[in-house]
Structure 1
Amino acid sequence: MKTTSDKYGSLWSRDELVLALYLYCQIPFSKTKANNKDVISLAMILKRTPSSVARKLGNFGAFDPGLAKRGISGLAHVSKVDKEIWDKYSGNWDRLVADSESILQRANAVSLVAQEEHGDLSMNLSLPSGPSAAAREVETRLHQTFFRRSVLASYEVSCCVRRLNIAALLVASHIIPWSVREETRADPRNGLCMCSLHDRAFDRGLLGIDSALRIAISRTALRSRCAFAEIALASFNGEQVRMPKRFAPKAEYLTWHYDHVYEH
């Protein structure tokens, strides 16, 4: 295997690009720097310099429509293969997780996801039983963790309702629930970063988001005479939800939740 210095100036393989995209999705674009611990970890796996990895993450930023809307162009000098990898996996998040973890396994490398970040209290998972249960549980948690990290990174670890920025109190809320539609389970565009309270309200239909991206509080919550409910829910009825830096929630998903979960 090449050392870090041996790889200086060498072309990136497709496997390396897949891992770079995997990481790109899971950290805020503003933190795709050479001194970021996750960038350093990937650099060690790839036997490349952190600066090289950071530049490649910047290359992927050139294809990100969320960044383009904010006038951020990413780095120039992208390759044709960079674009091919982006097009292959953008919108096919389950495959990105599976392929990335397979590459890491073949390289005898640890997952890019920290063990303590596995799991998300927002999900009621129905795990399989039988001989394949352990393998399926690992796969489920990897998808779950990719989703959480991608959603929190998109919102720069801040609640989309009230800007709370304490990571331990934040949840990556599924717009279309995990149990309803398999193909949207790992899609960051099916996620909202919320504090635990607002996540619960969203899950139970007490909070919705309308087609104008306004927060809608249900009649049940508005009728509550509890002072805390007034502060925590009713007070921001009709306000605009804060949009993420990338992976903006799909209108189709928000409409589904508003029509099927939200209590009008």
Structure 2
Amino acid sequence: MASRRRWTYDELLVVLNLYHKLRFGQFDQRQPVIIDLAERLGRTPSSVAMKLSNLASLDPALKLRGINGLKGASQLDRDVWDEFHANPAELVPLSQERFDALFVDAQSETTEVIPGIGIRPASKPPTGETETTRLTKQRRGQGYFRDAVLNNYDNRCGLTGLPVRELLIASHILPWRDHVAERLNVRNGIALNRLHDAAFDQGLISFDEDLRMLLSGRLRDYLPHDAVKLSFEAHQGNELLLASDATPPEQNFLARHRAFFGFP
């Protein structure tokens, strides 16, 4: 198995796709996801983990947190990083296409990246709001966003801790239909269970500057109904569950969500 050959453009697109679906603390050669990808690329897990850490040195969000990654990023690494982030609407679906092609046969199928478990074919098309689910490009974008957001929250609901991936939604803070530039931005996503995703989408709940859950006046009108108390009032004031190396939601996006739905 060749591990010292030069990285190609397509390989870097695939690794960069994975980069945004893992947290920095998961860039480990023993990580099953990295082992799976390395096997399909014909590389060693250590080389893939190292390349992820090289890419981390280019990440301005990590630098703000005092994380520098590994030195040694190539000029091609820099070029692909810049191109990917300058044009995510085109490069994210392309990278997902290259990624999926390593693991599934049909063009209409996509994959799931689950840290600690590995990479597997998605059991069904990603759920969530989308304007063109029939188009492969949009479906790939949704699959990428779902993996990135759910893995950022350890595959559990950020509010309740529910760990059943099949019941989780990668909720958009700024709606998909109205904010094209932020559709694939992990900072525009929160992992929520289906009930709280619907409530967030309708402005029945929101989150404050400290990421604590806010309850709308409309929901308060239903108190003291037991179901509302159990599902919503019990979580009022609770902070979103985020790992120490997770990417937090963008504060400006949350402020716009609160303002749109009239939260004080």
TM-score range, shorter chain: 0.7 to 0.9
1:158 & 1:67 partners in 2: Cα distance? 23
Q: 3-state SS of the aligned residue for 2:5?
A: coil
Residue in structure 2 matched with residue 17 of structure 1 by the alignment? 12
| Match status 1:119 vs 2:125 | yes
From the superposition, tell whether residues 118 and 33 of structure 1 become closer, same or farther in structure 2 (CA, over 3 Å).
Answer: farther
**Deviation string, structure 1 residues 180-227 (Cα, Å, up to 9, x no partner):** 222222221110011222111101111012344332110122232112
Q: How far has the Cα of 1:27 moved from its partner?
A: 2.9
TM-score in terms of structure 1 length: 0.80
- Aligned-pair identity in percent equals 30
Secondary structure (helix, strand or coil) at the match of 1:216 reads strand
Aligned twin of 2:21? 26
Question: 2: distance between equivalents of 1:246 and 1:193?
Answer: 12
- Answer with 142-151 or 80-89: which moved more: 80-89
Distance 1:118 1:256, change over 3 A: farther
For structure 1, which segment, 33-42 or 220-229, has the greater mean C-alpha deviation from structure 2 after superposition? Answer: 33-42
Cα contact 1:42–1:112 (8 A) shared by 2: no
SS of 1:172 mapped into structure 2? strand
- Residue 206 of structure 1: aligned partner: 204
1:52 maps to 2:47: yes
- Counterpart of 1:187 in structure 2 is 185
Q: Residue by residue, what CA displacement relative to the aligned partner does 1:238-263 show, whole Å, maximum 9, x if unpaired? A: 34334463443222321221122466
Offset of 1:147 from its aligned partner?
Answer: 0.4
Tell me by how many angstroms 1:70 deviates.
Answer: 5.0
Shift of 1:69: 5.2
Question: Following the alignment from structure 2 to structure 1, what is the Cα–Cα distance between the partners of residues 124 and 60?
Answer: 28
The alpha-carbon distance between structure 1 residues 177 and 193, as it changes in their structure 2 partners (threshold 3 A), is same
Partner of 1:131: none
**Structure 2, unpaired ranges of 5+:** 113-119
Q: Is the 8 A contact 2:27 2:53 kept in 1?
A: yes
Shift in Å, 1:105 = 8.2
- Contact 1:204 / 1:262 at 8 angstroms: preserved in 2? no
- 8 Å CA contact 2:167–2:193 kept in 1: the answer is yes
CA drift of 1:155 comes to 1.6
CA distance in 2, matches of 1:143, 1:52: 27
Structure 2 letter corresponding to 1:15: D
**Counterpart code for 1:222:** R
* Count of residue correspondences: 251
Q: What do the CA deviations read for 1:122-152 (whole angstroms, capped 9, x no partner)? A: 32x3338xxxxx5x2x222111110000001
Alignment correspondent of 1:76: 71
Give the direction of change, closer, same or farther, for the CA distance of 1:95–1:148 in structure 2 (3 Å limit). Answer: same
Secondary structure of 1:208's aligned partner = strand
Question: Is 1:122–1:199's contact at 8 Å kept on the other side of the alignment?
Answer: no
**What does residue range 99-248 of structure 1 map to in structure 2 within 5 Å?**
99-101=94-96, 103=98, 113=112, 114-116=120-122, 118-123=124-129, 125-127=130-132, 136=135, 138-223=136-221, 224-243=223-242, 245-248=245-248
For 2:210 and 2:216, the matched residues in 1 are separated by: 16
Structure 1, unmatched stretches of 5+, are 129-133
CA contact (8 A) 1:206 1:220 kept: yes
- Secondary structure of the residue that 2:6 maps to in structure 1? coil
CA RMSD of aligned residues (A): 2.9
Change (3 A) 1:210 1:104: closer
Alignment TM-score, normalising by the size of structure 2: 0.80
How far apart are the structure 2 equivalents of 1:105 and 1:196?
Answer: 26
Query: Within 2, Cα distance between the matches of 1:262 and 1:118?
Result: 36
Among candidates 69, 81, 85, match of residue 80 of structure 2 = 85
Aligned partner of residue 55 in structure 1, secondary structure: helix
- Give the drift of 1:65: 4.4
